[in-house]
Structure 1
Amino acid sequence: MAKNTIAIEKYGIRFGLIAAVAMFGYFLLINVLNLQNVEVIRFASNIFIIGAVIWAIYSLKTNTQGPVPYLPGLGIGFLVGLIGSVLYAIFIYVYAKFLNPDYAAILETQDYYGSVMSPMMLAGAITILGTAVGTMTGYILMMAFDNSGARTAE
């Protein structure tokens, strides 16, 4: 079981970093295009977490002999979402607080999640949302990939 734990962490960290880098690029792109005020475009960064979880679980499945157990797949989804969203939240916080203080003022006037939030609160909300997206993506994928025999066909 220790070997599965290492694989979960390896895949979670690798693909969480990939998701974070993709979200950094997406954030910079929407700011260059001046689209950061459009809610749908702003929240579309979660697509990169979904893609990274799919890629991570597919990679685990292709590199594993036999069936991929349900819980390791769910763990990978959780880790990818957590690592990707935490790094993205830190990036936005540093960007808003230190690199572009004018952006922090813009953030404080925008309506995120139904209320006005400081950059620190926004970072926390991004982390929670990204972790939930990654976990749910892993959950859904593992329902399709889990053929370990735990389910019965009655």
Structure 2
Amino acid sequence: MGTGRHDAGGAGALQVQPAEGYAGNVSPELACQWWQAGQAVLVDVRTDAEREWVGFVPGAVPLAWKQWPGMAMNPQFDQGLQAAVPAGQKAVLLCRSGVRSIAAARRATELGLEAYNILEGFEGDPDAQAHRGARGGWRFHGLPWRQN
């Protein structure tokens, strides 16, 4: 895909990258830093099934952008996001690869929030064998996560 990707190990890993329609793109490391410092709310917009089967970030707000099966829009997204993110607080949005979270960040911005997309997502881009987890992502960078 390559949309908005960066070299996570490079100098830009802890800088906000500009984006259109929302506050910006951030590396998993910067998002985690903000979240752990209480400067942002981490919102995991993946489906319930993804969080259950692939893994989740303890303490993140689980709020699907689209629901499995069928990937229909979550009609409770707006209400859930507004309830989860206090006024004046940043929201950092996490999905599988950093694509759905762009749409969610745009919607959060429309709702008046300061919203950031987390580049690479939870699993990162697929490798040559179409496997995720070896080319970036929250897990790849050794950030907090669990699996059931």
- Normalised by the length of structure 1, the TM-score is 0.29
Higher percent of residues as helix? 1
